[in-house]
Amino acid sequence: MSTTTAAPPRKTRALPPLMTLTDAAATRLRALYEKGEQGKLLRIGVATKGCSGMSYDMSWAEAPAPTDEVVNDRGLTVLVDRKASLFLIGTVMDYETKALTSGFTFTNPNEKGRCGCGESFHV
C-alpha cells in the first residue's frame, strides 16, 4: 500500500488593482461628476492610433456596459473597457495642471515606450 501526500497549495500573490486615482485626479473627476457630467461615468479605454500604436481613450457613459470593468477608488467610480484591461493593470490616473495645459495623465507600468510627442504608447 503506497501513500501519497498532496503538495500544499501554492500561495498566489495578489494582483495589482486595475487602476487607481491620485488625489488630484479624484478631485478633478469629482468636480466633473458634480457639474457638467452629473449622472455620467468616465469610461477609459485604449484606442489604436498615434505614432506608437495605442492611446488612452476617455468618454462619458450613462451606465456601465456589460463589457466594462468597474473600478471604485477614493469614493469614485470609473469604468474601464474590458478590452483595455490587460493594457491598464496597475495604471495610476493623475490630473496635472501645467503653464499651458491641464488634463488627466496615466502612469502605466505596462508601457514599453512612448512616441516623441507623448500622445501614444506601446506595450
Read off the C-alpha cell for 8. Answer: 500544499
For residue 13, being part of any structural domain is answered with: no
User: CA-CA distance, 74 to 25, in Å (whole number)?
Assistant: 10
Q: Rounded to whole angstroms, how far apart are CA atoms 72 and 62?
A: 16
Q: Do residues 93 and 43 lie in contact, with contact meaning Cβ atoms separated by under 8 Å?
A: no
CATH number at residue 91: 2.60.300.12
Helix (H) or strand (E) holding 55: strand 54-61
Does residue 1 belong to any structural domain of this protein? no
The range of the structural domain enclosing residue 76 comes to: 19-117
pLDDT greater than 70 at residue 36? yes
**φ, ψ of residue 15 in degrees (nearest 5):** -75, 150
**Is-above-0.85 flag for pTM?**
no
User: Would 3 be classed as within a structural domain?
Assistant: no
Spatial distance between the Cα atoms of 108 and 52, rounded to a whole number of angstroms: 15
Kindly state whether residue 49 falls inside one of the protein's structural domains.
Answer: yes
In a domain, 7, yes or no: no
> pLDDT, tens digit, for every residue of 92-120?
999 999 888 888 988 888 776 676 555 66
